[in-house]
Amino acid sequence: MAKIILHDVGMRDGLQIEAQTVPTDRKLDWIDRLTASGLDMIQVGSFVNPQKVPQLADTDELFQQLSVPGRRRPGVVYTALVLNEKGLERGFACGVDFFCMGVSASDTHSRKNTGMGTVEATDRIIAMGRHAMAEGKGVQVSVQSAFGCGFEGHVPQARVVGLAARFLDAGLTTVSLADTAGHGSPSQVRDLFGALRGLGNGVSMACHFHETFGLGLVNAYAAWEAGVTFFEAAFGGLGGCPFTAVAAGNVCTEDLAHLFQRMQERRDVSLDAIAGVATDAAQWFQRALPGRIHTTGPIPDGRPD
């Protein structure tokens, strides 16, 4: 099977819901430690209105600091989420190499999250993605609320697949399906990613799950069974979309990496390094975080699977 790519989104999706702002120097320390852990991709932030999400107001500065020669580990990709054209231009200006962008399959969630309906958002995201690719940037597009919506409930599979098909037809071939509300089940995950794979056009599949109802990690495993290679997660299990009905954390990065290591995959990733960041975050926010491995430690290597 293709190599599993681990994309930590804790610095963006993990922190965006937190009321207590993390100082820029502490964020840089966490990013440097995640970089050294062996993770493949780290989402630094998002170019959003600082009035609405003050936690992410320093995203431009973070990217500028991370561009210092010798700071990043070779092969690690720093990513940013963008929602609109202004955010894309800010990303170009501070040197972002890889952009994540997407639309919600739920029109209600789309309007709460971006102020646009799904149709308008899709047209704009496709134009933005093609612009970024023309500038030589990496692009991942996502379908949010792909497995259900906290406001609308069931989201038809045909609607999700139709959005993904539009992305592929536009030449945007790295496609993520995001379970923003945490409604997905393993069988649904296998079916939906199977339908996405069936579209062809050189699709590379990514996934993004939340633990709202405790199904995130098993859904990630089902996604792996379905051929997904890009996995998004957040250190400590932090996070939650502030514009969904019930916000809950992401799949925990160190827990997910531990699962894969029990499967003899991604043994190169340092669980201790990621867990150390999660422990720091728990101390900073003065509460226990939902992840497991940063408190229990991994299963010792000598144990049978």
Write out the two tokens for 169: 């037809």
Catalytic machinery residues: 241
CA distance 111 to 166: 20
**Whether 171 contacts 178, CB under 8 Å:** no
Contacts of 198 (CB under 8 A, 6+ apart): none
